[in-house]
Amino acid sequence: MATKTLEDLFTDGVKDIYYAERKIIAALKKMIRGAQSEDLKAAFDTHLQETEGQVERLVQVFELLGKPARGKTCPAIDGIIEEGQEILEEFKGSSAIDAGLLAAAQAVEHYEIARYGTLKSWALQLGKNDVAKLLDQTLQEETKTDETLTQLAETKVNVKGQSKAA
**Per-residue model confidence (pLDDT) at position 26:** 96
Residue 160 has pLDDT above 70, yes or no: no
Phi, psi torsion values for 163, nearest 5 degrees: -75, 155
Residue 166 has pLDDT above 60, yes or no: no
**Per-residue model confidence (pLDDT) at position 163:** 61
Q: How far apart are CA 56 and CA 49, in angstroms?
A: 11
Kindly report, residue by residue over 107-146, the tens digit of the pLDDT. 999 999 999 999 999 999 999 999 999 999 999 999 999 9
Mean per-residue pLDDT of the chain: 93
**Per-residue model confidence (pLDDT) at position 161:** 57
**Per-residue model confidence (pLDDT) at position 1:** 73
Residue 67 has pLDDT above 70, yes or no: yes
- Per-residue pLDDT, averaged over 26-38, amounts to 94
- Give CATH superfamily name and number for 6-157: Ferritin, core subunit, four-helix bundle (1.20.1260.10)
- Record the pTM: 0.92
Domain ranges of the chain: 6-157
